[in-house]
Structure 1
Amino acid sequence: MTAIRPGAWRGLIAPGLVSLLCLAILLGLGTWQLGRKSEKEALIARILARSKVEPPAPLPAPETWHPERDEFRRVRVAGSFQHEAETLVHGLAAGEVPGRALQGYYILTPFRLEDGGTVLINRGFVPTERKAPANRSAGQVAGPTTVTGILRGSELRTMFVPAPDPVRNEWFNRDIAGISASRGLADPRPYLVEADATPNPGGWPKGGQLRVDLPNNHLQYAFTWFGIAACLLGVFGVFAWRRLHDEPEPAVSARS
C-alpha cells in the first residue's frame, strides 16, 4: 500500500472546504424535498377530504374564517354577479392535447350575496382570445343565480411573480385583499370561491380548474439531490486519495 506523502493533506484543505459546503447544500435540498413531499401529501389528502363534502356548506362568517380549517371546503352561494368589476388573473390551464397548457386568464368576478356582503368568484379559465367580455358575452350571467365551488384563500406573490397592474386590470396571483381594494368592493369576504365545472352559457369561462391530482415528484427530486451528494463524496474521495498517495512530478528545469 502506497504511503501517504508528508504534508500532502495541506493541499486538501481548500477543496475539502468547498466540497463540504456543496455537500451541505445538496443534503439540505434533499431534506427539504422530503419535507415538501410530506406537505404535498397532506395537502392532497385535505383537498380530497374537504372537496367531497355533501351537501355543499354555506360560506363561513368572515370573522370565523381560518384557512387551515376551512380552505378547500365545498360551498354553495346565492346572489348575483357584478361583471363590470371582474378581474383578470394570468394563468395556465390544461389544453386538449396532453402535456400542452393553454395561456390565458382566470376570471375573478365579485358576487353580491343575497344575505349581504361580497365574495370573489373564480369563474374559471378563458384563453387569451376570450379576454374581452364581448368575446364571451353569453357567459355574463345576469340576475340571481347560485354557484357551487371550493373555498380558497389568498395566493402569496413570490419574488418571481410580477407585480399586478390594477390600471390595466391584470394580476398574476390570487390576491384577494388587493383585488377587492382595487375594485372598491363593499364588505368583501377574506376568501374566494373556485367555481366547479358546471358549464357556463357559451362555454366560457370554464370552471372546475382546481386540480386535486396535484403532482408529487418530491421523492424523485430528493433522490436526485442525495445521488449528486453521493457522487460528490465519491469524486472527492478519489481526488483526495490521489493527492495523498501519488508522487509529485519532478520539476523540469529550463536550460539556457
Structure 2
Amino acid sequence: MKRMAFRPKLVPTLFSLAALIVLIGLGVWQLQRLTWKETLIDRLQSRAEMRAESLPPGDLDIEEWEFRRVTLVGQFLHDQEMHLLNRSLNGNPGLHIITPFRRTDVPDAPLVLVDRGWVPFDAKDPMTRKEGLITGEVTVEGIVRFQRPITGLQRVFLPENEPARNMWYSVNVPEMEAVRGEPFANFYVVDGNDAVPGGYPVGHQWTLNIRNDHLQYALTWFALAVGLLVIYVISQRRRDDGTDEA
C-alpha cells in the first residue's frame, strides 16, 4: 500500500493562502465590530435609563442624543396627526400616532414630532379616542429617536410613504415637514406616557432593538477558513508515485 504525502502545488497554495488571509481578516473585523456594537448598546441603554433633561432647542446630533431621555413643554397639534402603519403591540396589529408638538418652553423652536404610541386599527380615527386628545399645555417625557436610512431588503418590502393619504410606513422628517409646511426638528420623541385618558394611544413604545449578529458572522468566516484549510490539505496529498489522493 502506497503512502500519502503532503506535496502542495504552487498555484493552489497561493490561491488558498490568499483566500485564507481574507477569511481570517473578515472574522477578525467582525470581532472588532462586535466590540463596537456592544459598547454602542451599553451606551444607548444607559442613556435610556438616565434622568430626563430639558430638550434643547433646534436640531440635535444623533451621536450625542439618540435614546436620551428628555422633557419638553407645549401643545399637541392633534388636527395634524400622522399615522405610522403596520405597528404591533403584544401581537395585535395597529399603528402609531405621530403628532406635531408646538413647544412653549422654548420660543420660536421648530415643531417636534412626538410618537404618542400605539392604537388598534379600529381606533385610527381620532374621534374614536377623544379622551386621548389631550389639550392645553402638557409636559412630554420620552426618548429621542432619529429616522433611519432604509437599506437592504427594506427597500424591497417596505412600501413607500403616501403623504397625501396620511399613510406612513417609516418616519421621514423631511417628507412630514413638507406635508405640514412648517419646520420640524430633525428628530422625534417617543412619548413615555402609558396612562393616556381613554387608554389610547398606548405610550412608552420603545425598545432597544439593535441587531448584534457580529459574533455569528465572525464564527462563519472562521469556519469557512477552517473548511478551506481542510480542503486544501486533502487536495494536496499525493501518493509516493506522484498521483493525487483522489
Per the normalisation by structure 1, the TM-score is 0.74
SS at match of 1:204: coil
Distance 1:240 1:135, change over 3 A: farther
Structure 1 consecutive aligned stretches of length 4 or more whose deviation exceeds 6 Å:
19-22
CA contact (8 A) 1:197 1:207 kept: yes
Aligned length: 235
Instruction: Name the counterpart of 1:48.
Output: 45
Instruction: Name the counterpart of 2:119.
Output: 126
Distance 1:227 1:85, change over 3 A: same
Deviations 1:44-79 (A, max 9, x none): 22223322332x22211216x222222222111111
SS at match of 1:202: coil
Instruction: Name the counterpart of 2:227.
Output: 231
SS at match of 2:227: helix
Q: Give the Cα separation in 2 of the matches to 1:169 and 1:72.
A: 26
Q: Give the Cα separation in 1 of the matches to 2:21 and 2:87.
A: 36
Report the CA distance between 1:220 and its aligned residue: 3.4
Report the CA distance between 1:223 and its aligned residue: 1.7
Match of residue 80, structure 1, among 71, 75, 78: 75
Distance 1:240 1:247, change over 3 A: closer
SS at match of 2:205: coil
SS at match of 2:53: coil
- Unmatched tracts of structure 1, length 5 or more: 96-100, 249-256
**AA aligned opposite 1:209:** Q
Distance 1:226 1:176, change over 3 A: same
The answer to whether the aligner puts 1:107 opposite 2:104 as a matched pair is no
The share of aligned pairs that are identical, in percent, is 36
- For 1:190-229, list aligned pairs within 5 A: 190-212=186-208, 214=210, 216-229=212-225
Match of residue 38, structure 1, among 35, 38, 54: 35
Q: Give the Cα separation in 2 of the matches to 1:227 and 1:247.
A: 24
Match of residue 58, structure 1, among 30, 54, 58: 54
